[in-house]
Structure 1
């Protein structure tokens, strides 16, 4: 992505909901060098911050509801979670949870776009989001996979005011033209049972080596290393619990 800190309207955080927190800690520590720290407070429910050095870069958490899938989630920075939740509903989306306070660190809501892709709204207080972007082992891109790109474009530009850089094959999202993510059409490349979804891409020094390391650690390859024409080298992986995520070569953001 074209910015290196949380920006209003842009992705500021990503967190994994998993059915095996300890297994996820081991997998991502081995893959990305993350240092996980679980909040000891009972009311935190096992929420775990992953760090690179002193910087928080992602979170891992248990599943809090029976209906919650094992998946990575993407949060977008907002200045007023309540106002943005209303805007989501007015634009045809659904507010699934909140808005609600999280201790003294912020206020958040979970929402879904008209096609059902889930995302989160984060109104920062003491915690703005990731402390590092685009470096190996950190968030570098986010992607919405959907079967109705026209409707998605209308929804997200209405809710967030994103700029759109579209080609015949791919749409890129931006803030004032500074791209941070994209949108592929799911088409025939996705099994029909896979729902629309947001997915994070993490920057890595070597995509091929990361794919090999993921397999050795018990993960699976959903899309092998591929060099996008005039774009980055990427791959899509699945962790041992089933959560999908992408990787791309660091320095090739957007």
Structure 2
């Protein structure tokens, strides 16, 4: 993506909610070379920030709900979480959790768009979000998969002021001319039970190697490494606990 740091309205963080923190830590550390740092505070239940060098790049967390889905979530930066909640609900979305203060780090919200996709809002204070984008092992693109693209476009442009490219094949989200994500219309190839969702893509040095490493680590390749015409080489993977995510070749940022 064309963003290189958290900006208001843009993606600022990716967080995995998982049923097995230890297994997730082993899988992603092997795949991306992350260095995990687990918060020792008991109330955080093992919340783990992962780093590349000194830069925080993502987090691994226990599921908030025992029966909740194992999944990656994408957070978008906002100046005022309370004001953003009002914008989300006025535009037809829902807010099942928050705003919640997270120590002095910031203010957190769980939201759901009108097409059913869950996303997070983050009002940064001492912690703005990821300290690195687009480098191998870090977040580099976010993608909304939905069955109602027009409704989704109306919602996100209203709430965040995003631009949407006119491409019918693959509309892209942008802020002030800087594209950071895209939108896929879910057709009959997607099982009915798969809901609308946000999919984070992490940069890697070699997509084919990453897909092979994921398989060897107990994961699954959902979309084999593919070179998109006039776009990146990418693949979509699933970790051993069931969370989906994408990888793309670093340097192929759109």
TM-score by length of 2: 0.99
Question: Structure 1 stretch 189-198 or stretch 237-246: which is displaced more?
Answer: 189-198
Corresponding residue of 1:176 = 176
Cα distance in 2 for partners of 1:64, 1:156 equals 25
SS across alignment from 2:215: helix
Q: Cα offset for 1:2?
A: 0.1
Instruction: Confirm or deny that 1:212 pairs with 2:212.
Output: yes
Corresponding residue of 1:115 = 115
Cα distance in 2 for partners of 1:36, 1:230 equals 35
Corresponding residue of 1:222 = 222
Corresponding residue of 1:144 = 144
Corresponding residue of 1:129 = 129
Corresponding residue of 1:187 = 187
Q: Cα offset for 1:97?
A: 0.2
Cα distance in 2 for partners of 1:208, 1:18 equals 25
Q: Cα offset for 1:64?
A: 1.7
SS across alignment from 1:155: helix
Question: Structure 1 stretch 219-228 or stretch 163-172: which is displaced more?
Answer: 163-172
Q: Cα offset for 1:189?
A: 2.5
Cα distance in 2 for partners of 1:125, 1:68 equals 28
Cα distance in 1 for partners of 2:174, 2:131 equals 20
SS across alignment from 1:225: strand
Q: Cα offset for 1:66?
A: 2.4
TM-score by length of 1: 0.99
Corresponding residue of 2:20 = 20
SS across alignment from 1:166: coil
Structure 2 segments unaligned to the other structure (5+ residues) = none
Give CA-to-partner distance per residue, 1:165-220, whole Å, 9 cap, x none.
Answer: 13121110000121000001011221111000001000001000100010001100
8 Å Cα contact 1:141/1:181 also seen in 2 = yes
Give CA-to-partner distance per residue, 1:128-179, whole Å, 9 cap, x none.
Answer: 0000000000000000000000000000000000011131211100001210
- Aligned residue pairs: how many? 254
Corresponding residue of 2:79 = 79
Corresponding residue of 2:66 = 66
SS across alignment from 2:97: strand
Alpha-carbon RMSD: 0.7
Cα distance in 1 for partners of 2:90, 2:45 equals 32
State the 4+ residue runs in structure 1 displaced beyond 6 angstroms.
none
Corresponding residue of 1:94 = 94
8 Å Cα contact 1:164/1:177 also seen in 2 = no
Cα distance in 2 for partners of 1:10, 1:168 equals 22
Cα distance in 1 for partners of 2:53, 2:168 equals 40
Corresponding residue of 1:155 = 155
SS across alignment from 1:188: coil
Cα distance in 1 for partners of 2:82, 2:72 equals 23
Cα distance in 2 for partners of 1:242, 1:93 equals 26
SS across alignment from 1:111: strand
